[in-house]
Amino acid sequence: MSVVNEGKQPKVSIIVLNWNGLEDTIECMESLSKITYPNYDVIVVDNGSEGNDVGVLRDRFGGYIQIIENDKNYGFAEGNNIGMRHALKGEAEYVLLLNNDTIVAPDFLAELIRVAESAARIGILGPKVYFYHEPNRIWFAGGRISLFATSSVQGYRQVDKGQFDKVDRVDFVTGSCMLIKRTVLETIGLLDPLYFFAFEDVDLCLRSIRAGLINVFVPNSKIWHKVYRSGARDTYGTYYHTWKSTIIFARKH
């Protein structure tokens, strides 16, 4: 892999999708406001929330965030696509998709960028993800895809004892926190809106690999995830779209 500008601080647009998740989004924003990486902006895409989420967020965070108001719930994939299209109209060299039901370590973005800038072929990166309510128990430490188009995650529910502390080339990283180079999106496109919810992250990573790029797990970048908090507000819809997306992914790949 060819080495590029490791000391660079490229512009990052952080995209956070909100759908009736005001309390989670507020906690996520408060967490983001403490990060050490200097060159970023935050785009909150409200996916047709039913309450006054947009008004509260605008009053509370002012100029710290940009808000895009969708007229309905476009799902995870297309909701994030709307934010990414907005970011790519500007100077963003990276976009970071971040679930609203997460909190982040202050250096999580700096660690992702440090690795991203170390090699030109790296296209998509993700952090080590812990359970929010069990802060030393791993939820995600990189993902693998089988020949039968099924996915599996490393480290699930393991207590972190340093067993996943090496930067690792993986098949996919989770969409709960995914750093993507601008050039990747310009080459392979955005998330596939057919998925609506589930497997859109795996699909994007697989398309990245097929374009000759590398997906990387970055263990020194850490976040904590409340896990399916958004889906819990619509249990039937979550199960329906998960199974539908599984079938779409298997047929596609």
Tens digits of residue pLDDT in 41-87: 999 999 999 999 999 999 999 999 999 999 999 999 999 999 999 99
Both tokens of 150, joined, read: 């099924």
pLDDT digits (tens, 9 = 90+) for 76-115: 999 999 999 999 999 999 999 999 999 999 999 999 999 9
pLDDT in tens, the chain (253 residues): 333 455 689 999 999 999 999 999 999 999 999 999 999 999 999 999 999 999 999 999 999 999 999 999 999 999 999 999 999 999 999 999 999 999 999 999 999 999 999 999 999 999 999 999 999 999 999 999 875 555 689 999 999 999 999 999 999 999 999 999 999 999 999 999 987 656 799 999 999 999 999 999 999 999 999 996 654 445 545 544 454 545 555 556 6
Q: Which phi-psi region, left, alpha or beta, contains residue 228 (left: φ > 0; alpha: ψ -120 to 50)?
A: left
| Residue 7 confidence (pLDDT) | 66
Contact between 102 and 224 under an 8 Å Cβ cutoff? The reply is yes
pTM above 0.85, yes or no: yes
User: Considering the domain 12-252 in this protein, what is its CATH number?
Assistant: 3.90.550.60
Share of the chain above pLDDT 70, in %: 84
Whole-number Cα distances in Å, 55 to 22, 49, 69, 228: 10, 11, 11, 25
Both tokens of 107, joined, read: 């250096």
Question: 3-state class of 85 per DSSP?
Answer: helix
Both tokens of 225, joined, read: 């995830």
Closest CA to 142 of 117, 169, 162: 169
| Residue 250 confidence (pLDDT) | 56
Cα(195)–Cα(209) distance, rounded to whole angstroms? 19
Please name the residues in contact with 135: beta carbons below 8 A apart, sequence gap of 6 or more.
224
